[in-house]
């Protein structure tokens, strides 16, 4: 893996001429940033802008990496939909990145990752035979297969039961250590547990929210984590739609 840069996005994004957000946000190098905000405020759009993907709108501003290099090809991305290919097995799906690059997939690593996400028994199955949570874990394993310095995760744990969610948070923290990570989530407890930096996006701004003094990954029942979670939820309920 190459050295992870920090990333700054600053500018206005409009859809059909109407302002969606006016934001200035920085993703610190090698840290977890959790991005929260009302549904439809533009969180996925922030990811798509930095990824250089179509957003359906117009961005007027700048997106820069601290090392001055292009971000193209340096970001591992897990979208909200799992994007699993229905004609491939679970194993072949999570090796798709290597296949598309014309490389020989590392099946040993792929098999080990599928075991870590609890899909060892489903390795040869097609996606249609998996539950929603299983599909999401397959998509997570596919993202973890990529050895990129920057990782974008768009609500990666949203379909998981509470116990599995905590397990998968710990897995990502372990496998993706030292990467520059941007995680979109609606879950204040997830942000309080995982984030080095919390950003709340609204139409007016991107506000940095205080995180606990303790280092991430935090214990779920740590008093500072619980306090951060509670204050965050109270604030999110008041943010205008
Ligand atoms: N391709 C597109 N064309 C036109 N409008 C779009 C497109 N993609 C997103 N939008 C609009 O941009 C706005 C922001 O969408 P976005 O998905 O970024 O929000 P979000 O904060 O991630 O929402 P959620 O929390 O519900 O996932 C929405 O009003 C959405 O309808």
pLDDT digits (tens, 9 = 90+) for 76-131: 999 999 999 999 999 999 999 999 999 999 999 999 999 999 999 999 999 999 99
Residues near 9 by beta carbon (within 8 Å), at least 6 away in sequence? 23, 24, 25, 46, 49, 50, 61, 62, 63
Atom 17 of ligand 1, nearest CA residue? 44
Confidence class for position 241, pLDDT limits 50, 70, 90: low
Confidence class for position 239, pLDDT limits 50, 70, 90: confident
The pTM assigned to this predicted structure is 0.95
The gap from C-alpha 43 to its chain's centroid, in whole angstroms, comes to 11
Confidence class for position 192, pLDDT limits 50, 70, 90: very high
Q: Summarize the confidence of residues 170-190 as an average pLDDT.
A: 96
Structural domains in the chain, sorted by start: 1-74+148-241 (3.40.50.300), 84-147 (no CATH)
Instruction: Look at residue 140 and give its three-state secondary structure.
Output: helix
Between CA 29 and CA 40 the distance in angstroms is 27
Tally: H helices and E strands in the chain: 8, 9
Atom 25 of ligand 1, nearest CA residue? 39
Atom of ligand 1 at shortest distance to CA of 37? Answer: 21
In terms of Cα–Cα distance, which of 151, 129, 150 is closest to 78?
151
Other Cβ atoms less than 10 A from the Cβ of 28: the count is: 16
Confidence class for position 132, pLDDT limits 50, 70, 90: very high
In terms of Cα–Cα distance, which of 98, 145, 93 is closest to 123?
93
pLDDT at 226: 96
Residue 190: is its pLDDT beyond 90? yes
Between CA 238 and CA 241 the distance in angstroms is 9
Ligand 1 center to residue 81 CA distance, Å?
Answer: 14
Ligand 1 center to residue 199 CA distance, Å?
Answer: 18
Atom 30 of ligand 1, nearest CA residue? 40
């Amino acid at each position: 893996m190459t050295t992870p840069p920090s990333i700054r996005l600053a500018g206005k994004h409009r859809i059909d001429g109407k302002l969606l957000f006016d934001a200035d946000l920085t993703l610190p190098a090698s840290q977890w940033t959790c991005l929260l905000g009302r549904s439809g405020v533009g969180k996925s759009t922030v990811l798509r802008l930095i990824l250089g993907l179509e957003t359906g709108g117009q961005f007027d501003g700048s997106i820069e990496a601290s090392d001055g290099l292009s971000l193209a090809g340096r970001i591992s991305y897990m979208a909200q939909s799992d994007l699993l290919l229905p004609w491939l097995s679970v194993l072949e799906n999570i090796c798709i990145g290597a296949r598309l690059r014309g490389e020989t997939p590392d099946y040993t690593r792929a098999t080990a990752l599928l075991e870590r996400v609890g899909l060892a028994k489903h390795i040869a199955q097609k996606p249609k035979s998996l539950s929603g949570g299983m599909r999401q874990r397959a998509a997570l394993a596919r993202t973890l297969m990529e050895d990129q310095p920057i990782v974008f995760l768009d609500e990666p744990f949203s379909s998981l039961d509470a116990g599995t969610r905590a397990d998968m948070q710990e897995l990502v923290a372990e496998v993706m250590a030292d990467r520059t990570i941007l995680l979109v989530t609606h879950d204040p407890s997830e942000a309080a547990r995982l984030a080095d930096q919390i950003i709340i996006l609204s139409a007016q701004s991107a506000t940095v929210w205080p995180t606990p003094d303790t280092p991430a990954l935090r214990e779920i029942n740590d008093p500072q984590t619980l306090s951060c979670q509670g204050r965050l939820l109270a604030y999110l309920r008041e943010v205008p739609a």
